[in-house]
Structure 1
C-alpha cells in the first residue's frame, strides 16, 4: 500500500505504459491504496493535482514503465547464498577449493542453517575429487551446490553422513542417477540429478527466521533491478511459510506466484508426505501478495558438461526416454489442471520440450479451457514444435536470462539457444525469467543481447532503411515480455502488468529509454510497489 495518506501526482516523465490504448504518457496519479487513478498528459494530471490539492513528484523526464515480472526465480535458495559467507566465487579448481572455504561463518551472526555442515554454491569444478576437500575438512561435512542446482560436490565426511557408499560406489539406478567415479569405481564426491537425493534429504534445513531473512534478501535484490512480481520456481513448505508470515506482517513488498515443487521429490528437498501436505494446504498459504495455484515439474536435467542430462531426440525423432525424470507426467498434469493450477515444466532439451507439449496437447483435447500452462527454459525446441505453443495456449518461459548473451554456452549444436524470433513468428506467448539462484538477476544486459534476434521477427511493414522503427518495435516487444506478458501468464493482467487506471501502481524509473532499445548499461533509479518506493538508487 502507498505510504502516502493522499493521492500523489507524478509528472514530467517519459512514461511507456505498455497499454495498447495509450502506450505513451507524461504523468499519472497514484491513489492512497496504491493504484493508478489517472494516466495522461502533464496538463491533464497537473490540473487534477491543482484541483484536488495533491502533492506532486517530478519525474524529471526519466523513463518510466511498469514493474518487471521475473518469470523464474529461486528466492529461498538465492537468499541462502546471499547471506552466507561461504562464497567460493568463480574459477574454483581442485587446487584452490579448500582455501576458498577455510573461513566459514554467517554474515548475520546468528545460529541457524546447517548445523555442523559447510554449505556453499558455485558453478562447477573441473575434474573434482573429494581429496581436495578432505585435507582441510576431514571431519566437517562439506557440500557445494553446482551445475545451477543440478549437481553437488562433497567431501568424504559429507558422503558418509548422507549415507553414500563412497568406497564401494553407488549403483547408477534407472533414472538419472549421476555419480562421477575414480578409475577404481570409488565416488569422486561429485554427484548430479537424482544422485543428490541422499544429500538433499540429509542436510539440515535453515530455521524459519533465517528463511525469512533469506527471502527478504532475495526480494530486495529483485527490487533493485526493477522486479515487482516474481514466479518462485521451486517453492516448498519452508519458503511458503516464510512468505506468508512476511506478508501477514506487512513486510512482503512483491507479488509472488509460488510454483510448489512436486516432482522429482528432491526438487522440494522435502519428503513426499510433506510435499503432499503442502499441496493439500496450498490455499492456506495464499494472501494479499501470494498466489499458490502454481506447481512445478522438472522433466529433465541440464545441457552442461560433464552431465548432459537434458533430454534430446533420437536419430529417428523419438524422445530419449533415458533422460526423462517423470514417467507419469500426463496423469499428474491432468490432476493439477483439474484443480486449476498452472503447471510449469522444466525442459532443457528438444525431447523434453516435445514430451511436455505432447502431454499438454492430450490434456487440451479433454479440457480445452484449463489454466495457461508453461514450458520453462525453452533453450532447446525443435523447429516442428514452435507453432504448438500458440496452438495449445502454452507460455514459452525463456530462462535463465543471464545466459542469453553467451550463445551455446552450455552445449554444442544449438541446444542452449533461446530463439525468440521463432517463438514470436509462431505466435507464442513469451515471458522472461532470470532463474535467479546466485547470480545477477537484472534483465538489462540479457535483453540487449536478444535485441537483434527479436528484430528479425518484426513484420516487414515496420522495417525501414535505418532500422530505427524495427528496433523500436523489437524493444517494445521485449518490454512487454518483461511486464504485461508475465501478468497474462499468471492470470493477473486485470490488476497488473501495465500503467492503466485501476491497476496496481507497480512501476520503475530507469536512467535510459528501454522502449528505444537502450538496455545495455541501463540502471533502475527507483522501484515502486503499490505506490510505495521500495528502491532508490544512490545516484538518484
Structure 2
C-alpha cells in the first residue's frame, strides 16, 4: 500500500475494482481522498478500512464497481458543442431544399437560447444536397440565416446573410476558398474553408454571460461521459476570458488546455489583430485549472464528400501544396516552440501530415529540448511517416472518435484511416479526442469498436483483448496527462495525485466498453456527476 498523511475531512472509498492506470496495470480495492482533493492512500480494503477506523473517516462503498482515472479528451470544441444543443437550430440531417425553411420555423427546431445571435438565425446540420440560398430566401427574405455544416468545414447562407457578411453574390475565387455556384456563376450560399472567414467574423457573438453559461453546460455534459480534463482545440479570446473568470469564482470543475488559434481566422471566429495579441499574452489567461501554453494550426481541410479539401500526396509523392492552407507554418512553429508552447496541427491527408512532421523535425534540430507537439486527427498518415511520431516525440491525437468505425469512414476509399495498430507498433504516443462540436461527446462507445484493432498490435500477449483494453484505458487517462504535461499531478490513481476518477458500470479493463455507462465522476475529490440524480 502507498500512503501519506491525510487530513480530517478525508473520505475512504472501499470495495472497488480500481484500475490505477499505472504502467504495471495494477489494480487496487480502495483509496482515501484527502480534504485537499488528492489521493492520500491507495491499497487493499483491509489497509484502507483500517486507516478509516483509526482516523474515524467517513466511508464510501463502491460495491465492486470499476473505477479508473478521469478521461482526458484530447480534442473538444466546448462552445460549439454546447451551442449545438442549446443555441443553434437543428433542422435535422434529413433536411432538404423543399423543407429547410419550414424546419427552421417548426416548434421542434426551437432552441432555448437561439436569440443570443441578435437578429441572425444560426443552425447546424451536415449538408443539404444541391443547396441553393433560395431555399432559405423564401422563408427568410430579410433575416440572415447561417447554417454550419461539413463537420465544421462548411457553411450554408441565405442572401441576407451573404450581404450582411460582406460577400458579393459573384464573389471571386481565391486560394483555399471554395464557393459553390449557380450555372450563371453566382453563389449558391454553400462554401468551405477560408471562404467562411467573412461570415465567421460577421455574425453576432453572444454576451459573456451566455458564453460562460454555455461552457458550464458543456462541462456538465463532459462530466456525464467521464471527462475530467480536455484540450480546447480552437481557443479564442472569448473562451479564454470566460475560462479565467469561471476559474476565479471556483465554478470551473475541469482541467482545460487551451489551443489558441494561430490560423485560420474562421476557426477562431476572431480576427488576427486581436487573436495574435491574445496568443502573445497567453500567460495572462492562465489559472489554476487552465493551461494556456498551447497553439492550434489548421493546415488542411477534410476528406469528406463533396469537399475533399485534405492535402494528399501527388502521384510523384510530393505534397499537394494547393490544399495547404498555411504558408508560414515553419516560421510560426519555430517561434512558438522557442516559447515552450505545444503546437497542435490539424492534418487529415498524407501530405499535410508529412508537412507537419517535416516542420517538427526542423524545429527539433534547432531546439532539442522543446515541448511535445501534436498532430490532430491522424486519419491520413503515409506508411513512411508512422515511425516519425516516436522519433520526433510527437503525440498522435486520434480524433474524431465517432469516425473510427463509421459508414462515412468506410465510404472514404481509404482517405480516413485511424490505424491504431501501426501507431502502436511504431511506439507512437497516442491520445484520443471526441472532436466534440455537433455530436455526442462520449468516447467510450468508440473504444469498443477499436478493441480488436488494438489487440491485433499485441499478438504475443497471453490475453490480447484484456491487454488491449488496458492499453486503451491508459491512452484515455495517463497518456492524455503526459501529452499536456500534467503527468505528475493527474492521469493515474496514485498517492499525491489529484483525485479525478470515474465509476463505471462494467470492467473497462477487460474490454467491456460496449454499452458502458458512467455512474459517477469526481474532480479533485468532489462528485461532479451522479447518474442517479441526472435521471431524476
TM-score, normalised with respect to structure 2: 0.96
Alignment match of 2:528 (pick from 511, 517, 534): 534
Query: Is residue 2:209 matched to residue 1:209?
Result: yes
Alignment match of 2:123 (pick from 114, 120, 123): 120
Per-residue CA shift, 1:397-427, capped at 9, x if unaligned? 0000011121652863311110000000000
Q: Is this contact kept in 1: 2:8–2:57, CA < 8 A? A: no
Q: Is this contact kept in 2: 1:303–1:411, CA < 8 A? A: no
State the distance in 2 between where 1:22 and 1:137 align. Answer: 58
Specify whether residues 311 and 147 from structure 1 end up closer, same or farther in structure 2 by C-alpha distance, changes over 3 A only. same
Q: Is this contact kept in 1: 2:39–2:495, CA < 8 A? A: yes
SS in 2 for 1:101: helix
**Displacement of 1:219:** 0.5
SS in 2 for 1:179: strand
Alignment of 1:110-189 (within 5 A): 113-166=116-169, 169-174=170-175, 176-189=176-189
Q: Is this contact kept in 2: 1:405–1:445, CA < 8 A? A: no
**Displacement of 1:319:** 0.3
Specify the alignment match of 1:282 in structure 2: 282
Alignment match of 1:53 (pick from 45, 48, 56): 56
**Displacement of 1:99:** 1.4
**Displacement of 1:281:** 2.0
Stretch deviating more after TM superposition (490-499 or 87-96): 87-96
Q: How many residues align?
A: 527
Specify the alignment match of 1:478 in structure 2: 472
Alignment match of 1:512 (pick from 506, 510, 516): 506
**Displacement of 1:106:** 7.1
**Displacement of 1:98:** 1.1
Stretch deviating more after TM superposition (19-28 or 202-211): 19-28
Query: Is residue 2:481 matched to residue 1:493?
Result: no
Per-residue CA shift, 1:195-245, capped at 9, x if unaligned? 101111110111100000111111011000000000000000000111111
Specify whether residues 495 and 453 from structure 1 end up closer, same or farther in structure 2 by C-alpha distance, changes over 3 A only. same
State the distance in 1 between where 2:206 and 2:336 align. Answer: 29
State the distance in 1 between where 2:256 and 2:39 align. Answer: 20
Specify whether residues 459 and 370 from structure 1 end up closer, same or farther in structure 2 by C-alpha distance, changes over 3 A only. farther
TM-score, normalised with respect to structure 1: 0.95
SS in 1 for 2:532: coil
Specify the alignment match of 2:435 in structure 1: 435
**Displacement of 1:538:** 2.1
State the distance in 1 between where 2:82 and 2:523 align. Answer: 20
Specify the alignment match of 1:265 in structure 2: 265
Query: Is residue 2:88 matched to residue 1:102?
Result: no
Specify the alignment match of 1:466 in structure 2: none
Q: What is the RMSD of the two structures over their aligned residues, measured on CA atoms?
A: 1.6
Alignment match of 1:82 (pick from 60, 81, 85): 85
Give 5+ residue unaligned stretches, structure 1. Answer: 464-468
State the distance in 2 between where 1:434 and 1:446 align. Answer: 9
Q: Is this contact kept in 2: 1:67–1:483, CA < 8 A? A: yes
SS in 2 for 1:257: strand
Specify whether residues 108 and 183 from structure 1 end up closer, same or farther in structure 2 by C-alpha distance, changes over 3 A only. closer
Query: Is residue 2:241 matched to residue 1:241?
Result: yes
